[in-house]
Amino acid sequence: MDPCNVFLVDSDGSKRSYTANLNQKLAAFLRSISILTGRETTLISLGEQFYGRDYNDYTLRQLGFRQGIDVELMSDFKGGGGPTIPFMFNSLSQKKIINFGSAPYLRVVCRGVSFFGVCKNRRCEAFDSEAICTLGYGEFDIRDTVECKVKCPVCYQKMLNSCNFGFYMAKWKIKGVKGVKVGGGKFKFEDESWDEHFTTFKEGDNIDWQYMTLTVSNTRTS
Ligand SMILES: [Zn+2]
């Protein structure tokens, strides 16, 4: 251990002092600061001799860190704990109610939340057509759900282009933060759907989201 105090200059200009071990690699040092501050931290200024190299593999001593040096860092809050790369999903601004009598294929939805998606498995009879995957009741992280959990009801392979959902016999709460490009606003919505209809949102109205969480519960038990 070869400790030294390093000043980190934050993106807002404020300075903080951290104890660094000069034998530690930069990647490990930045990770420890991210854990301490709860912010994603990256180095933004370093000597010219390191340009174009992957300096995460260098030790702090090799990078020229020494007692009293100022190091400029960029840090971002990890809003909601998710990564900051946005994902595409419906804007949820226009509700659409479908009565079951007028849309027979929707009778296959079960209780709770159902996600729309497109099956891309050539051997599946649902290939290239929109299908519905019901996931029932519970808590959902929407980024994680559309990336990993929306499966074709026929072949059980992951479906693509899942940007919309709908509800049947359910109460639901949605919380989210929109992407920076669309203003980054906070979003909250609560509603419920009863026996005779399926509630969804207008198709094709997609925007970037930073994160979205959904809680779905049974209307009859609550
Ligand atoms: Zn399929």
Q: In this structure, are 38 and 133 located in the same domain? A: no
Same-domain status, 69 and 112: no
- Among residues 32, 59, 77, the one where a domain terminates is 77
Are 196 and 102 within one domain? yes
Whether residue 171 is found in the same domain as residue 116: yes
Whether residue 82 is contained in a domain is answered as: no
pTM exceeds cut of 0.75: no
Q: Which helix (H) or strand (E) covers residue 167, if one does?
A: strand 165-168
Count of domains for the chain = 2
Domain of residue 104 covers 87-218
- Between the CA of 121 and the centroid of ligand 1 the distance, in Å, is 5
CA of 51 to the centre of ligand 1 (A): 48
> Do 57 and 114 belong together in one domain?
no
Per DSSP, helices labelled H in 76-187 are 142-144
- Banded model confidence at residue 102, pLDDT cuts 50, 70, 90: low
Q: What mean pLDDT do residues 3-10 have?
A: 72
Mark whether 98 and 54 lie in a shared domain. no
66 and 101 part of one domain? no
Residue-wise pLDDT tens digits, 19-73: 888 888 888 888 887 777 766 666 655 555 555 556 677 888 887 777 766 666 6
d(CA 191, ligand 1 centre) in Å? 31
Q: Is the residue at 34 inside a domain?
A: yes
Which CATH number characterizes residue 72's domain? 3.10.20.90
**Do both 65 and 116 map to the same domain?**
no
